[in-house]
Amino acid sequence: MTVDTMAERMSRVLSDSAKAQNNALQALSSLTKVSAQNRNLLARTQDAIPLILGLSLSPSTLTQTLSLSILFNLSLNPDLKQSLARANIIHNLNSILLSPSSPEAGKLAASLLCSLAMLDKNKAPFGVAGTVEVVIQALKSSSNSSAAHHLLSSLAELVQFHGNCTLAVRAGAVPALVQILQGPALDLAGSSLAILGLMARFEEGIQAIRAVDGVAGLLVDGLRTGCMVSRESAAEILVKLFAESEECLREAARKDEFFSLLADLSIRGSEKAREKAAVLMNLLMKADLDSYVQEGGSMHRI
């Protein structure tokens, strides 16, 4: 594949025939999927990225999906992430996330956002453009859709930047994530716990988590199931909550299974999980547990 060959293939996208145009987009999608070199060639083709960006807003479901697929493939090259973010793609992504032409288009848009947000230099521009609020709004309206996992992955990348964490808290990210925790989808609940763990590293995040009624009990439940990363996150958040709130400690201690879950985590957990479990046990041993757990009708000791 050469620059001239790629330019010739790109010229077919300009066809007046919708079928011919989509065939050309399909070919470009296949070419850019399999080769980093092809992705660089397409990016260097004159007007290629602006044209594909424009087609990503097409009312045609197929055209939009194919265009997003090509843009996602391009974003896989680390050296293209920043240039793509500068190419007015953020505005397009915000629009598509709020109103995708199909579930597949919504999933691709969220995946593209996540890929671009992996570059630290792109995190702040997304925040300035309102993408954090858009992601949370999309998550609230599609918490059970196929795009939800990709939206959560995007949010996890974005909130690693302190300014975006503040924006997320103010946009209602914590209640939205807690609602997912209370749902039946264990994989989404695990991702939500991991994001809450990231948000808890900042003051705005931990205060918003603390303000949720019954959050300590939900986090104790989070110690039971899910991947090890989500269990680590639940333990880490509980450590932060206990340090700030005696009420949260009291709430967790009332859960009958809390002590056995900590014991299990301290034995079977990862190194980080064992470390957090040990901290939690130490905090509990220093507390006056009698006054906490007798309210539940039984006495527990570590």
Three-state SS string over the chain comes to CCHHHHHHHHHHHHCCCHHHHHHHHHHHHHHHHHCHHHHHHHHHCCCHHHHHHHHCCCCCHHHHHHHHHHHHHHHCCHHHHHHHHCCCHHHHHHHHHHCCCCHHHHHHHHHHHHHHHCCHHHHHHHHHCCHHHHHHHHHHHCCCCCCHHHHHHHHHHHCCCHHHHHHHHHCCHHHHHHHHHCCCCHHHHHHHHHHHHHHCCCHHHHHHHHCCCCHHHHHHHHCCCCCHHHHHHHHHHHHHHHHHCHHHHHHHHCCCCHHHHHHHHHHHCCHHHHHHHHHHHHHHHHCCHHHHHHHHCCCCCC
Q: What is the pLDDT of residues 2-61, one digit of tens each?
A: 777 888 889 999 999 999 999 999 999 999 999 999 999 999 999 999 999 999 999 999
Q: Is the pLDDT of residue 143 over 60?
A: no
Q: What is the pLDDT of residues 198-222, one digit of tens each?
A: 999 999 999 999 999 999 999 999 9
Q: Is the pLDDT of residue 288 over 70?
A: no
Q: Rounded to two decimals, what is the model's pTM?
A: 0.88
Mean pLDDT of 248-269: 90
For the chain, what is the mean pLDDT?
89
